[in-house]
């Protein structure tokens, strides 16, 4: 069991709070290492071996170069475009730099939704939108429907889940686009109950899928190390390479914009250029089969 799992989540969601910023603990080890070298303390150096080894085990592989692109690859982009984005056309240009097959967007609101649809249409003739989330594709889409991931505590209109079938040259896959509830760091700890409940509902929907290959793209308001997303991460593969911290855009501290896959491999994930959003876009390469 990883050392961070020893931190309980029953009190103020402290476990999830630690796991959100888990990669940054490597900097703590570096500072302690410098201090140990300055003090010439062999005891301190030996004591650092365990946390350094644990961090390297968890995150060292993310630094390795990714495999070369193959014939069964899809490129996908995930981006929370922000409902306050004043430059949707410029945002589309930034996303197009990755030449993706699929583009998943969240916080789609009128009138900018019409701008996204019009600007993306020439290269992405197929799209589906439900509520404030949408998917644009180079390949045909069928069976688009709303996925109910609304927590019980939310009473207003709230539609943030989409499911559709993508007919790729390599076979049919199911794509989900989701935007889970926000979390807040407060004096009482991490407020993530609604996010966790929504992740559970989404996990149940994915578990019930009959088609073998499933992609999930979305702003999940949590990192892949956060146990609150366990209903998803326990069922799906996450990126093999890359950190791709996506939020906040001004000084990214964590990747809460995720690309996950079932019966497929997320080879590498990286960020794209900033847009008019408070999130950075992320792009990932998916190997099918």
List the single range of 12-16, 92-96, 225-229 with lowest mean pLDDT. 12-16
In 3-state terms, what secondary structure has residue 53?
helix
CA dihedral 194→149→130→172, nearest 10 degrees, is 130
Predicted pLDDT of residue 7: 57
For residue 111, give both structure tokens.
Answer: 């009138």
- Name residues whose C-beta falls within 8 Å of residue 37's C-beta, 6 or more positions apart in sequence: 45
Q: What are phi and psi of 34, to 5 degrees?
A: -60, -45
> What are the φ and ψ backbone dihedral angles of 258, each rounded to 5 degrees?
-120, 150
Q: Is the pLDDT of residue 245 over 60?
A: yes
Distance CA 61, CA 208 (A): 31
Question: What is the distance between the alpha carbons of residues 89 and 85, in angstroms, rounded to a whole number?
Answer: 10
Cis (ω within 30 of 0) for the bond into 243? no
Query: In angstroms, rounded to a whole number, what is the distance separating the alpha carbons of residues 227 and 190?
Result: 13
Q: How confident is the model at residue 67 (pLDDT cuts 50, 70, 90)?
A: low
Lowest mean pLDDT across 70-84, 96-110, 160-174: 70-84
**Which of 1 and 91 is assigned the larger pLDDT?**
91
pTM for this structure? 0.84
Q: Pull the structure tokens for residue 220.
A: 């999940």
Whether pLDDT at 140 is above 50? yes
Task: Give the containing element (helix H, strand E) for 63.
Answer: none
Q: Parallel, antiparallel, or unpaired: how do β-strands 184-186 and 189-191 relate?
A: antiparallel
Residue 276 has pLDDT above 60, yes or no: yes
Question: Got the DSSP string for 158-214?
Answer: ---EEEEEEEETTEEEEEEEEEPPP-EEETTEEE-HHHHHHHHHHHHHHHT--SS-E
Asked whether the predicted pLDDT for residue 31 surpasses 70, the reply is: no
Which one is predicted more confidently, 60 or 101?
A: 101
Looking at residues 125-144, what average pLDDT do you find? 98
- Judge whether residue 1 has pLDDT over 50: no
Report which of 172, 96, 164, 82 is spatially closest to residue 130, judged by C-alpha positions. Answer: 164
Whether 249 shows a pLDDT value over 70: the answer reads yes
Are 80 and 88 a contacting pair, CB within 8 Å?
no
């Amino acid at each position: 069991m990883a050392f961070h799992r020893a931190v309980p989540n029953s009190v103020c969601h402290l476990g999830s709070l630690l796991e959100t910023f888990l990669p940054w603990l490597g900097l703590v080890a570096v500072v302690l290492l410098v201090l140990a070298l300055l003090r010439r303390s062999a005891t301190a150096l030996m004591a650092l071996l365990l946390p350094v080894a644990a961090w390297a085990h968890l995150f060292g592989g993310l630094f390795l170069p990714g495999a070369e692109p193959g014939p069964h690859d899809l490129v996908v982009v995930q981006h929370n475009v922000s409902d306050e984005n004043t430059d949707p056309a410029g945002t589309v240009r930034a996303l197009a730099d990755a030449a993706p097959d699929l583009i998943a967007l969240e916080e789609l609101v009128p009138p900018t939704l019409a701008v996204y649809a019009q600007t993306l249409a020439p290269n992405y003739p197929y799209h589906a939108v439900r509520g404030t989330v949408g998917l644009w594709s180079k390949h045909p889409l069928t069976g688009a429907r709303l996925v109910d991931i609304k927590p019980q505590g939310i009473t207003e209109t709230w539609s943030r889940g989409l499911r559709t079938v993508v007919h790729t040259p390599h076979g049919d896959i199911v794509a989900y686009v989701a935007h889970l509830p926000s979390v807040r760091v407060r004096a009482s700890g991490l407020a993530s109950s609604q996010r966790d409940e929504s992740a559970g509902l989404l996990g149940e929907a994915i578990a019930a899928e009959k088609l073998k290959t499933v992609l999930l793209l979305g702003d999940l308001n949590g990192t892949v190390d956060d146990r609150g997303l366990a209903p998803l991460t326990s069922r799906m593969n996450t990126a093999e390479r890359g950190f791709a911290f996506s939020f906040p855009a001004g000084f990214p501290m964590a990747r809460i914009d995720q690309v996950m896959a079932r019966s497929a491999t997320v080879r590498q994930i990286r960020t794209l250029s900033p847009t008019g959003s408070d999130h950075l876009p992320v792009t990932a390469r998916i190997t099918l089969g």
